Structure 1
Amino acid sequence: MRILHTADWHLGRIFYANYLTEDQAYVLEHQFLPLLKEARVDAVVIAGDVYDRAVPPVEAVELWDSVVTRVASDKRIPMFVIGGNHDSGARLEVGHTLWAPSGLYVWGTLRHLQGPVIVNDAYGEIAFCPMPFSEPKSIANYLFADEANSPDMTTHGQHSYDEVYRLWGDYVRGQVPKGMRSVAMAHAFVSGSAESESERPLIIGGSYAVAAQAFSGFSYTALGHLHRPQRAGSEVIRYSGSLLKYSFDEAAQRKSFTLVDIDEKGGATIEQIPVEARRDVRIVEGAFTDIMNDEALHQRCGDDYVMVRLTDTAPVIDGLARLRSMIPQVMTLELTGRMAVNDSDEDMTPNFYHLSERDLFGQFAVAARGEALTVKEAQYIDALWDRINKEEL
């Protein structure tokens, strides 16, 4: 069976005041959907964070509806979806009983978990095992709802993610018939994995790390939450990564879809298909004048989302607007040169409190136009300050 593993679409995401719905739609419509046919995909797994927030914008919901309709109804490919920490699980799974006969299985909460879904391929049966995101206490209550004496899974009064997921993994594996191949789907942080700035912590305070051993024993574990494509302690326990780059610290990452081929014995072969985004995310570093005059750089950046890190140690007046005249999608500007000077020698920072209004304006004129006031201009400014001071008396 060939499975396409993806996660962390974050439909409705805002990036520096820009809605990314059109960028997301481009990847889904021009690559994701065609890839299902081109790669002969037998099943799709989305491991959480379909949406970027609990109440997504209408455009994001419409995009989701369009995509799942074409996958489940038009292409007749089974699709397995779990909720993530950004989703509202209850909202995500509304209509799940109507979708299941079409091959669309959605688990946003723990309430409707009824064991694995069994799918057949040329070699027999494969169990798809959902583990949607939930708080550790809720998971513990789900696992031991019928037991009077549940084990102690708290650390300093807080439920331990690691212990809860270890027990949950054991419970899910126990639901799979012996010898049957299985695919787990979870939205969690596995210990030792690399994080990105755009990820929201699973909990505030405490440890939310889960050992990879919690997912051992499955033929493959499809993980969501972390935005960098990566293995998590094993080649068959993996994060697919996010659909797009959602922060500038992800600029060097290569986003991808993960194709997983599971053979008759449960062995998994992995292939990563790079995402072909409409816009890239870039970091440009250099002196202001050099960046403004580099026409080749302007062409390379095109309509990409750009962060500029200026190495200038002198002030740059209206730098962001001037840069956008050459590179339209400059999202943010960092004055790394000035910060480096201030950090290395505090004495080099001018003490403006001891300067008069005339001196301050004179320094501003030099910074803004590169030359000092002429004698005539200085006389005019002196007269202006005298008039202002008299009016204040």
Structure 2
Amino acid sequence: MRIMHLGDLHIGKTLNQQSLLNEQSQLLDELVKQVEALCVDIIVIAGDIYDRSIPSKEAMGIYETFIYNLNQKLQKPVLIISGNHDSPERLGHGKAWMKMLNLYISTSIEDAFVPVSIDNIDFYLVPFIEPATARLYFEDDTIKTHHDTYHAIINRIEERINNAKLNIMVSHLFVSGGNTTDSEREISVGAIENVHLDLFKSFDYVMLGHLHTPDAIKDDKVFYSGSIMKYSFDEVHQRKGFRIFDTEEKSVQFIPLNPPRNLEYAEGTYDDAINKNLGVSQDSYLKFELSNMGHVTEPMFKLKQIYPYLLELKHKTEKLNIEYQQKEVQYLSQTELVKQFYFDMTDEPLNDVQQELIDLLINESRMNDETD
């Protein structure tokens, strides 16, 4: 059995107000081709189907086309869970009758306890669940964290797990030690979202979503697929793609995907950018951090004439070597204090004209204080 493990499609994602729907649609079409080319038997999508809980009609259309091509045209079983970006109610609409089409959608705690059985494999589809939801479901006030939540869910699964079969858990969560990026919406504040690896000991494989790099965790049976494309500029150097699990060969392989338009980040001077010396493609979505822009009016406008997909421009702060000195100033008069400050800043004394002006301003200030 060959299983394609996907995660974090984030259909409808925008980056600095730039819609990525066109690139996403092309990548999803490529995935359909990969299913055929690699002789995939089952497709698993580990959450965050959409980027928003209320997706646009365009995003929904791209998702529906993708699932139709996999499930109806290619006649492949598709297993889906909801992630923290998804609305369980919207994603799960009609899920009961969709099972008849071999399209399995898990969006609730109850869904997690009934495995999807295909040949000798039991898939336990555990969607993203908030601790408050688990606390209410299990009537257990001790459930405070995501680890508590998934511990309670997995304990219930372990009561009925069939060890004669290959048991695979699919979920959307943050394993302790995983690497995050800006595009992964924070599940909760602090460390209470962390789930420990030791929870998964009863499963042969665990297919996860939420973290956008396939290298987020190193383990023999727990895997992230990562997102299908780069969704923030701190993902520039991450691998993007999907995994193939071959249950006969007992192998796990990562297959990279090349997006129609790449994401790149570069630092340098404004002149470097104008002269195309930053080492980036003009056809990529770009972020620049540039120095020596103080003399340039409308630098973004001028740069976009060369780099039409420039999405973000930051001024690069130049590091200055500043020396600090302590001086005794409490016994200095106001005039002496100004003289000392001016000399420290310029290495020159006040000239006569400057001195007269300072004296005038100080005297006026004193007179104002006396008349208040």
Could you say which TM-score interval applies, normalised by the shorter chain?
0.7 to 0.9
Alpha-carbon shift at residue 161 of structure 1 (Å):
1.6
User: In the alignment, which residue of structure 1 is the partner of 2:157?
Assistant: 172
User: In the alignment, which residue of structure 2 is the partner of 1:389?
Assistant: none
Q: Report if the CA contact (8 A) 2:272-2:278 is conserved.
A: no
Q: Report if the CA contact (8 A) 1:4-1:43 is conserved.
A: yes
User: In the alignment, which residue of structure 2 is the partner of 1:239?
Assistant: 224
Alpha-carbon shift at residue 162 of structure 1 (Å):
1.5
The number of residues matched between the two structures is 324
Alpha-carbon shift at residue 311 of structure 1 (Å):
3.0
Alpha-carbon shift at residue 233 of structure 1 (Å):
4.9
Q: 1:178 to 1:34 in 2, by over 3 A?
A: same
C-alpha distance after superposition, 1:238-288 (max 9, x if no partner): 11111111100001111011111123xxx8411111112001000122111
Q: 1:284 to 1:3 in 2, by over 3 A?
A: same
Q: Report if the CA contact (8 A) 2:166-2:204 is conserved.
A: yes
Determine which of 307, 318, 322 is the counterpart of 2:287.
Answer: 307
Alignment of 1:74-223 (within 5 A): 74-120=73-119, 125-142=120-137, 144=138, 150=140, 153-154=142-143, 159-204=144-189, 207-223=192-208
User: In the alignment, which residue of structure 2 is the partner of 1:5?
Assistant: 5
Alignment of 1:372-387 (within 5 A): none
C-alpha distance after superposition, 1:163-198 (max 9, x if no partner): 222232232233321221111011100000111111
Structure 2 runs not aligned, ≥5 long: 325-372
Higher deviation after alignment, 6-15 or 308-317: 308-317
SS at match of 1:175: coil
Whether 1:23 aligns to 2:23 is yes
User: In the alignment, which residue of structure 2 is the partner of 1:293?
Assistant: 275
Q: Report if the CA contact (8 A) 1:173-1:218 is conserved.
A: no
Mapped to 1, the partners of 2:198 and 2:250 lie a distance apart of: 17
Give, as a single letter, the amino acid of the residue that structure 2 aligns with 1:54. S
After superposition, the CA RMSD in angstroms is 2.1
**Identical aligned residues as a percent:** 30
SS at match of 2:70: helix
User: In the alignment, which residue of structure 1 is the partner of 2:246?
Assistant: 261
Give, as a single letter, the amino acid of the residue that structure 2 aligns with 1:86. H
Alpha-carbon shift at residue 206 of structure 1 (Å):
5.7
Alignment of 1:9-88 (within 5 A): 9-29=9-29, 31-88=30-87
Q: Report if the CA contact (8 A) 1:115-1:175 is conserved.
A: no
SS at match of 1:63: helix
The ranges of structure 1 where at least 4 consecutive aligned residues each deviate by more than 6 angstroms after the TM superposition are: none
SS at match of 1:67: helix
Mapped to 1, the partners of 2:209 and 2:87 lie a distance apart of: 15
Mapped to 2, the partners of 1:242 and 1:85 lie a distance apart of: 14
Q: Report if the CA contact (8 A) 1:10-1:50 is conserved.
A: yes
C-alpha distance after superposition, 1:296-333 (max 9, x if no partner): 94xx5132100111132744321111111111111111
Q: 1:115 to 1:346 in 2, by over 3 A?
A: farther
Determine which of 332, 341, 354 is the counterpart of 2:319.
Answer: 341
Mapped to 1, the partners of 2:4 and 2:130 lie a distance apart of: 27
